[in-house]
């Protein structure tokens, strides 16, 4: 693939790496006897979702009702909206069900919302959300509210889910495994309580890419959720969750200036093209806003975006010979710090290395 005719910045997706990443996770889940419910908030793409599900078009996760509607229209079944539901989103759930015949699976963690959902007449199945230590959404496992919610949900209760987002707060895989243990145990214990109280709880759903890959024991878990493993990025690499050569998503960018007096060069990938997420730097301080690579070979150039403005990325140049190796107008590919946010920068889709263009579904409405 030659990039000479591309307008930049552009999102480049390496199909070989994507397919390898997807296959590895499908194999991992098959080996553990759990269903993979890929989180499509990273890719927001039907083409990627087909690969992620191994062509199954079933059992996926989304983070917006915009995604839910998009995948329902594309024929996907059993779509989990993994963000707490509120009544102002009920009309859209109703429209999706009427138009596509698909009822999106929901999550909630309060008696109020369980009652509101029942009162609405909607028939969306629900997973009750547990907090396994991330301290974002979810119930503690020992609260009596768990059974009250199940009671309020009645036939809509289909199980439990939890998300160990705090598995990113380390680069030590022993810690990840410990967090994964708590995540699975939290979900299992909650499901057990529901079942002992006579409620139906067929689904036990856990996940984040690190915990799915490093959970010591998935016994009892029925499904796992993960998304970023499809693309990978410097956040994953710095936390020892992927290899550098697994990273499938890059930003094609053009060198737009040499400021020799200031010792920098600028590229046309800035805050919108890369995002301002610097979470990769916690465990990889040299990640900055992304690593510049040769666009054809993907060899890292030992250069990072040090500063971003809306459309400018500024790169510190310590060796003046670099200006000759990267003349104004030349191309680089930049490995992102956090692929989910980079991909959402406004590109509208992916230039795929097989020559195709795969659209994304960004936004909320």
Site for a second copy in 153-172 (CB under 8 A): 165
| Count of positions (residues) in the chain | 365
Q: Which is nearer to a second copy, 117 or 241 (CB)?
A: 117
Check binding of 320 to a second copy (CB under 8 A): no
Q: Is 353 in the site for a second copy (CB under 8 A)?
A: no
- 189 preceded by cis ω (within 30°)? no
E strands of 140-186, at which residues?
A: 157-162
Query: 259-318: which residues touch a second copy (CB under 8 A)?
Result: 259, 261-262, 264, 266, 268, 271-273, 275-278, 307, 309-312, 314
**SS3 state at 173:** helix
- The minimum distance between CB 135 and a second copy, in angstroms, equals 4
Q: Is 174 in the site for a second copy (CB under 8 A)?
A: no
Where does residue 246 rank: exposed (0-12), middle (13-18), buried (19+ CB within 10 A)?
Answer: buried
For a second copy, the closer of residues 39 and 214 by Cβ is 39
Taking the least distance from each CB to a second copy, the nearer of 4 and 98 is 4
Name the packing angle between helices 90-100 and 111-120 (round to 10°): 50
Residue 182 in contact with a second copy, rule: CB under 8 A:
no
From 124, 340, 352, 358, residue interacting with a second copy (rule: CB under 8 A): 340
| Site track 186-225 with a second copy (rule: CB under 8 A), x = hit | ----------------------------------------
**Virtual torsion, Cα 28, 33, 34, 35, nearest 10 deg:** 90
Judged by CB under 8 A, does residue 92 bind a second copy?
yes
How far is residue 3's CA from residue 252's CA, in Å, rounded to a whole number?
8
Given the complex with a second copy, which of 245 and 306 has the nearer CB atom?
306
Residue (29 or 315) nearer to a second copy, CB: 315
Q: How many residues bind a second copy (CB under 8 A)?
A: 73
Closest CA to 59 of 172, 271, 205: 205
DSSP-derived 3-state class of residue 290: coil
Neighbouring CB atoms inside 10 A of 88's CB total 7
Residues 49-88 that bind a second copy (CB under 8 A): 63-65, 83-88
Number of Cα atoms under 13 Å in the Cβ half of residue 196: 7
List the one residue from 68, 127, 201, 255 that touches a second copy (CB under 8 A). Answer: 255
């Amino acid at each position: 693939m030659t990039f000479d005719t591309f307008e930049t910045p552009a999102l480049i997706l390496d199909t070989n790496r994507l397919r390898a990443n997807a296959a590895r996770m499908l194999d991992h889940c098959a080996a553990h006897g759990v269903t993979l419910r890929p989180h499509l908030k990273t890719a927001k793409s039907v083409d990627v979702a087909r690969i992620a599900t191994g062509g199954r078009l079933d059992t996926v996760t989304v983070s917006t009702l915009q995604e839910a509607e998009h995948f329902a229209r594309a024929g996907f079944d059993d779509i989990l909206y993994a963000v707490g539901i509120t009544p102002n989103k009920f009309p859209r759930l109703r429209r999706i069900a009427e138009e596509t015949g698909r009822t999106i699976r929901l999550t909630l963690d309060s008696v109020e919302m369980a009652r509101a959902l029942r009162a609405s007449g909607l028939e969306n199945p629900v997973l009750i959300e547990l907090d396994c230590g991330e301290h974002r959404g979810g119930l503690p496992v020992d609260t009596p509210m768990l059974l009250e919610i199940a009671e309020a949900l009645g036939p809509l209760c289909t199980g439990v889910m939890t998300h160990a987002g705090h598995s990113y707060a380390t680069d030590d895989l022993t810690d990840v495994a410990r967090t994964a243990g708590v995540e699975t145990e939290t979900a299992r214990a909650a499901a057990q309580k529901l079942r002992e109280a006579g409620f139906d709880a067929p689904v036990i759903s856990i996940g984040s890419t690190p915990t799915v890959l490093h959970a010591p024991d998935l016994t009892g878990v029925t499904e796992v959720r993960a998304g970023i493993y499809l693309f990978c990025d410097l956040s994953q690499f710095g936390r020892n969750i992927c290899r550098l050569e697994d990273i499938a998503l890059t930003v094609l960018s053009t060198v737009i200036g040499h400021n020799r007096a200031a010792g920098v060069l600028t590229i046309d990938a800035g805050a919108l093209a890369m995002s301002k997420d610097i979470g990769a730097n916690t465990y990889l301080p040299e990640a900055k806003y992304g690593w510049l690579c040769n666009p054809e070979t993907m060899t890292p150039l030992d250069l990072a975006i040090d500063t971003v403005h809306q459309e400018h990325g500024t790169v510190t140049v310590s060796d003046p010979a670099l200006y000759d190796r990267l003349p104004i107008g030349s191309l680089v590919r930049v490995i992102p710090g956090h692929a989910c946010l980079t991909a959402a920068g406004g590109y509208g889709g992916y230039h795929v290395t097989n020559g195709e263009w795969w659209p994304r579904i960004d936004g909320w409405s």
